[in-house]
């Protein structure tokens, strides 16, 4: 017997209905905000991520699932995130020639070689959004508003944390201040962060080890080092969020784990799901398109972890705060007795399904008792037993499975009347 690979999950039918609900909310909200879906490959040439996400990030250094092309030995990588691949596609397909801003979204699986734990798996799903060609803070606010809308509609309580990590102009000054601060505490940092101090000190602010977090709490803050333009941008973002009625806290610790971000970075943190509580993270990436060989085109986006959202919904349902959708149950179960009745049942079920009504009948040649047990198990709303007598009379009794008083006689061939009765 085989078992699923470490860090993967089987999403079984009882749970896929939760996913359908999430996806429905997402697609509706995205469409209302003018975002169109893009579907890109689940693997790319590794360089897309090495160059796009950054060589010093955890994703590239530790978390890539790589594979080798059998033909020419090119190193490929299962996509660990969506932005770099979307940017590659925008450049390759010349989408930068379309009307700006270009607004794209995607839903799909992503892969990271991580230590699996609750809310952290090696294959996980994200809803991602990328908006290109709008540089103002209003664009940042409208992208954040979409994430907020989805979370609100799903009734998942979160806190929005925002920060600005500046731009290539103000970052060197900040980086110097940060290096100076961390150098004074170098011996206390974890080995990875001691390395980060040389390569990418900003990453230390993101470290999950308790001691590094404690040291990071006293570190200089990016917002104190912003250049005039970045400070204006951040001010305008806050004003826009206020105007939209979206509550936030400014959190100087939010720096995000990817190299491509500039200015605005943000996270939505769930109040309900324990340690892995960031359900959505994003930010502005103005230099990325150029870095991957495209024109100078600014961008902003986010990735929302659907695996964590599903977890949040289950926790909320256990607390009685949300109602989870249930598996589709048939409106009618027809229990045929004999060959002729079986054919009638099959045909009637088909006619009802054609009308958009879910109906079932016996297709396993079971006894009447076994059929009724089955109808009950699958939650059929109505049932109808049809045998030779009923066929001859052209009538049968339609019964509500849970309400004994709700029963009536129907004409077997009057599909419209049956449909009307059971659809209620």
Beta strand pairing call for 158-164 and 262-270: antiparallel
- Name the residue with tokens 């359908």: 20
Q: How many residues bind ligand ATP (CB under 6 A)?
A: 18
In DSSP notation, 326-353 reads: -----SEEEEE-SHHHHHHHHHHHHHHH
Positions 29 through 58 that interact with ligand ATP (CB under 6 A): none
281 binds ligand ATP (CB under 6 A): yes
- How far is Cα 328 from Cα 384, in angstroms, rounded to an integer? 19
- Asked whether position 166 contacts ligand ATP by CB under 6 A, the answer is no
- Both tokens assigned to 64: 């890539």
Helix (H) or strand (E) holding 173: helix 171-183
Contact between 111 and ligand ATP per CB under 6 A: no
81 binds ligand ATP (CB under 6 A): yes
Which of 35, 105, 106, 124 binds ligand ATP (CB under 6 A)? It is 124
Candidates 47, 108, 109, 257; binder of ligand ATP (CB under 6 A) is: 257
Q: Which of 142, 148, 264, 278 forms a contact with ligand ATP (CB under 6 A)?
A: 278
Give dist(CA 279, CA 89) in Å, integer: 26
Judged by CB, which is closer to ligand ATP: 220, or 303?
303
Q: How many Å apart are CA 412 and CA 401, to the nearest integer?
A: 19
**Which residue from 85, 201, 303, 330 is in contact with ligand ATP, where contact means CB under 6 A?**
303
CA 370 to chain centre: 41
Q: Does 213 bind ligand ATP (CB under 6 A)?
A: no
- Interface segment toward ligand ATP; rule CB under 6 A; list 162-170, 244-252, 271-279, 377-385: 271-279
Biggest CA pair distance of the chain: 94
Applying CB under 6 A, the span of 177-185, 302-310, 357-365, 368-376 interacting with ligand ATP comes to 302-310
- Counting Cα atoms < 13 Å in the Cβ hemisphere of 282 gives 30
Paired strand residues for 311: none
108 lies in the binding site for ligand ATP (CB under 6 A):
no
Check residue 272 for interaction with ligand ATP (CB under 6 A).
Answer: no
307 belongs to the binding site for ligand ATP (CB under 6 A): yes
CB 99 within 8 A of CB 255: no
Closer of 257 and 387 to ligand ATP (Cβ)? 257
Nearest residue (CB) to ligand ATP, 81 versus 140? 81
Question: What region, left, alpha or beta, does residue 113 occupy, with left being phi > 0 and alpha being psi -120 to 50 degrees?
Answer: beta
Q: Which residues bind ligand ATP (CB under 6 A)?
A: 81, 112, 114, 119-121, 124, 126, 257, 276, 278-281, 303, 305, 307-308
């Amino acid at each position: 017997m085989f078992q699923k690979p470490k860090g993967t999950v089987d999403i079984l039918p009882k749970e896929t209905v939760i996913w359908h609900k999430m996806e429905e909310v997402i697609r509706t909200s995205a469409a209302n905000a003018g975002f169109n879906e893009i579907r890109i490959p689940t693997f790319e040439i590794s360089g897309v991520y090495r160059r796009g996400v950054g060589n010093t990030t955890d994703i590239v250094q530790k978390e890539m699932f790589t594979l080798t092309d059998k033909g020419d030995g090119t190193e490929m990588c299962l996509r660990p995130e969506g932005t770099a691949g979307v940017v590659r596609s925008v450049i390759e397909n010349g989408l930068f020639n379309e009307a700006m801003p270009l607004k794209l979204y995607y839903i799909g699986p992503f892969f990271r070689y991580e230590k699996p734990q609750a809310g952290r798996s090696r294959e996980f799903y994200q809803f991602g959004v990328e908006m290109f060609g709008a540089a103002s803070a209003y664009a940042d606010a409208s992208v954040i508003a979409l994430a907020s809308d989805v979370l609100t509609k799903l009734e998942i309580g979160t806190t929005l944390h925002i920060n600005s990590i500046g731009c290539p102009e103000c970052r060197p000054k900040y980086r110097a201040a940060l290096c100076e601060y961390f150098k004074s505490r170098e011996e206390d940092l974890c080995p990875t962060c001691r390395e980060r101090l040389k390569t990418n000190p900003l990453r230390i602010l993101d470290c999950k080890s308790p001691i590094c977090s404690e040291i990071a709490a006293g570190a200089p803050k990016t917002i104190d080092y912003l250049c005039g333009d970045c400070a204006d941008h951040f001010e305008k973002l806050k004003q826009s969020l206020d105007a939209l009625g979206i509550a936030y806290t400014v959190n100087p610790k939010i720096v995000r784990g990817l190299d491509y971000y500039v200015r605005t970075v943000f996270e939505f943190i769930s109040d309900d799901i324990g340690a892995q509580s960031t359900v959505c993270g994003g930010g502005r990436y103005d230099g990325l398109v150029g870095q991957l060989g495209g024109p100078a085109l600014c961008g902003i986006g986010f990735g929302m972890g659907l695996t964590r959202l599903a977890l949040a919904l289950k926790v909320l349902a256990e607390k009685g705060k949300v109602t989870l959708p249930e598996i589709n149950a048939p409106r009618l179960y027809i229990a045929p007795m004999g060959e002729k009745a079986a054919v009638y049942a099959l045909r009637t079920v088909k006619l009802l399904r054609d009308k958009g009504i879910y109906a079932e009948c016996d297709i396993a040649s079971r006894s009447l008792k076994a059929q009724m047990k089955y109808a009950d198990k699958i939650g059929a709303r109505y049932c109808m037993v049809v045998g030779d007598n009923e066929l001859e009379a052209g009538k049968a009794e339609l019964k509500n499975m849970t309400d004994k008083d709700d029963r009536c006689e129907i004409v077997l061939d009057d599909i419209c009347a049956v449909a009307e009765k059971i659809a209620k």
